[in-house]
Amino acid sequence: MSVVVRFSPDLSSWLVAQLGQGCSPSALVDTMVKQAMDAQVARAIVDAVVTACLANRPVPVDSLTIEDDRCAYVYQAPLLGAGSRLEAEGATAHVIARSEKPRIALLADVLSARECEELIERARPRLEASTVVDPTTGRDVAASYRTSRGMFFRLQEDAFIAGLDRRISEWMNLPVENGEGLQVLHYTTGGRTEPHCDFLQPSNPANRASIARSGQRVSTLIAYLNDVESGGETVFPAIQWSVSPRRGCAVYFEYCNSLGQVDVDTLHAGSPVVRGEKWIVTKWMRQRRFVSAAMAPSDGMLLD
């Protein structure tokens, strides 16, 4: 069903800013309704802005046509183990907090101080300007909503990285081969990431080819490699969670079930770093063995 919605040019900018600060979509709708906006129209505008963020598209300025035929996400048995302790490779991570809908967990003791320092030092000389896949062309492009430098380790590229890959994969309860290589990102003062989800949007040939090779992304673990002096929180608007970066801790979330549905309530953002710097390492897991475009037989496809 298509619905044409018209609104003030300033409204979408305000919505993006509020989402980035951790405001939930429902709270934004309530605020708009209190300003005498029709509830159905308010929900349509908020949903459209969230959808644009998810697809890495420019947010509509003053009008839009909404297409939304998504079914309600079905929450199945979690991949992350139950209880307050997760054991793997002789290491123990502690579960500090959980959310069931969406499925998110805050973990402590994921990495030691030495491991955090070593990841930073190994990554530092390999950092490049971060890019994203353009949802229309499938090409890697610089994005205004992500202001960082980053790099990827190859899966199990040496003994140190292989140990981390095995341990994190065991905690995430999926085979090592399903994991993408660890990604390290570095944010300086002012660095941020605007609202987005980690699952792949099949809106371009590159993403469709990647999903065909390896399946959808299933889950994410973001570990913090340093204490940030001020700012840099990871925020989840749907549940109004804000996770402060602390060295060795991590936030974990799941967003794809066995039916192939994806959970848009795992929308998240990285708040601007106010003082200091922020280092993180991310692990994404796929439904099947991860095969990058570079690893696949030559078929003219663009790189992931």
Mind listing the pLDDT tens digit for each residue in 157-175?
999 999 999 999 999 999 9
Q: Is the pTM of this model over 0.95?
A: no
| pLDDT value, residue 63 | 72
Lowest average pLDDT, out of 103-107, 133-137, 287-291, goes to 133-137
Quickly state the pLDDT bin for 297 (edges 50, 70, 90): low
Domain range annotation of the chain: 2-67, 85-286
pLDDT in tens, 193-218: 999 999 998 878 999 999 999 999 99
- What is the third-level CATH fold of 85-286? Jelly Rolls (2.60.120)
pLDDT at 244: 97
Decide if pLDDT at 134 tops 60: no
Distance CA 213, CA 15 (A): 36
How confident is the model over 205-262, as pLDDT tens digits?
999 999 999 999 999 999 999 999 999 999 999 999 999 999 999 999 999 998 888 9
